A and B are shown apart, each in its own frame.
Chain A
Amino acid sequence: MKELQDLARKLLSEGTVKVVIGYEEGPRGARAAFITDPEQADPLIFDTRCVQNLAAYLNPRRKQIATLGKPAVVVKGCDARSVAGLIRENQIARDSVVIIAMQCGGVLENPDVAGELTSEAVSTRCGGCDVCEPKLFDHYIKSATAKTPPVNPKRTEQLAALAKMTPTERWNFWSEEFSRCIRCHACREACPMCFCVQCTAEKGTPLWIDAAATPRANRAWQTMRVLHQAGRCVDCLECERACPEHIPLGLLARYVADSVERRFEYKAGDDPSVPAPMGIYRTDDDEELIR
């Protein structure tokens, strides 16, 4: 990872950025690193355990990070789509962040256990990836070994099973999954695109969604959040990783993202200038109601 470490050293010592947000070796696998000292850039790594989408740390309301100064962020092609989303929705300016994109051949489903990227071991998000060679970046670090990742059949099977269900069956399936929700909102806090200053679920006047972990409130919260993510979610699975109840939130988000793609021929991409279908008003909108 010498190229990445050298780049970080250069960006910091020249004062181009004040912090490089990347990955380092943690006590149990890769974890986010915040390098502010050019002499401390050696810990930076990039391998198949670097699952986390670091774009979440660019949220300007994370005061403790924003006060460090202008960041550079290490992203995979998929993560870069979150950065594009933040720029597209005016949360950060393009020139307020230096994007270091890594050529990526996929990451592990379980990053605690290092190993080969077989189709059982690869993350369910990697299948069908079209941004292995990222397009949004200030610096691009190639990889000698990265190739198109295999498809993990688990996600394909889950999506197919959902698609075969009747609406009632799908409602029952998700009601069962949501019954475990404890309304901790870890999914929201880990998500790069959940950046609202006051979440709909935090509003008291009027109260849209009860705070308690009851079946009715859980269904309202989960469906509200995934619908607010429609067309914005990049399938990074941070929500699923964060959920202490192991609810398959990534499956839910992916199902909705696929619906958006079918309906609007749109997938949250890495070009900030391409507007999202639910994020733009057009006078020639298909829906007469909106026009």
Chain B
Amino acid sequence: MNIYQPYLMSIKEITDETVDTRTFRLEFKDPEVAEKFTFNAGQFGEYSVFGEGESTFCIASPSTRKGYIECSFKASGKVTRALRRLSVGDTLGFRGPYGNNFPLDNVMKGHNMLFIAGGIGLAPVRSVIWTCLDQRDQFKDVTIVYGARSVGDLVYKRELEEWGKRSDINLCLSVDPGGETPDWKGKIARIPTAVEESGVKAEDTFAVICGPPIMIKFTLPVLTKLGFPADHIYTTLENRMKCGLGKCGRCNIGPTYVCKDGPVFTAAQIRALPQEF
């Protein structure tokens, strides 16, 4: 079996989240694969446009939903720009699922959950959020703190609305100062402040955080201040990847291959890594 052979996917739906972020809903062309394919929240894949190349994104849809996967991306390079040129019905390739996952089943179930995301960082966290919400009764309190530079940069707006209406979710939306619109009803604050003011308690809570490095840098001390131990804070790392399965030697940070030992890590694990990422 040639492990570099991708599944063929058909684009079922295209959603423009923001002016530069697009979501694809993809279905497996092979019905047998569609039937059998499973993954865990946090895993990623190599999505490809044949002739242009492969690109690494997380699977942004929840593991509880079968028959399709979703990914969200910004057009920033050769392959992502090519992906943006595709239409509903077009074919692309997918290799995966790769990597480890957020330990929802064996660690997080039965506890409170705090989800923190910034900008397009909501994509991998969304997978965990929906997997959690699809089994809502298995978790205690759920708090979501999500923000972006401006209202226009918020992604998954329909779902943000849906989450905001639910009584079993404490949703805190915020935009950076200067990013608000006249009718903005959410917070005006950066994520670290929004987390601090969300009222979330560290006791019996697992945090899942993803966003720009600077956001993570300033949010981790807030979580520590609130009393979150470093092994209760989970994040997902990015690094330049090619094979996605541990062979091409590109994505390692010290002895850790982000594609195999990650991409999900606790803050404790990240602190122990050589700071070369």
Q: Which residues of A contact B (CB under 8 A)?
A: 204-205, 207
Contact = CB atoms under 8 A, between A and B. Distances in A.
Interface residues of B, number: 4
B81 interface: yes
Interface in B139-156: none
Which of B53, B77, B78, B81: most chain A Cβ within 10 A? B78
Contacts, number: 7
A207 B78 CA distance: 9
7 contacts: A204-B53, A204-B77, A204-B78, A205-B77, A205-B78, A205-B81, A207-B78
A138 to B, nearest CB: 39
Closest 6 CB pairs of A and B: A204-B78, A205-B78, A205-B81, A204-B77, A204-B53, A205-B77
A207 B82 CA distance: 13
Interface in B28-56: 53
Nearest to B82: A205
Contacts of A204: 53, 77-78
A204 B53 CA distance: 10
A205 B81 CA distance: 9
A199 B172 CA distance: 46
A204 B80 CA distance: 12
Contacts of B81: 205
A37 B74 CA distance: 49
A204 B81 CA distance: 11
Nearest to B53: A204
Interface string B66-84: 0000000000011001000
A233 to B, nearest CB: 31
Contacts of B78: 204-205, 207
A204 B78 CA distance: 6
B86 to A, nearest CB: 16
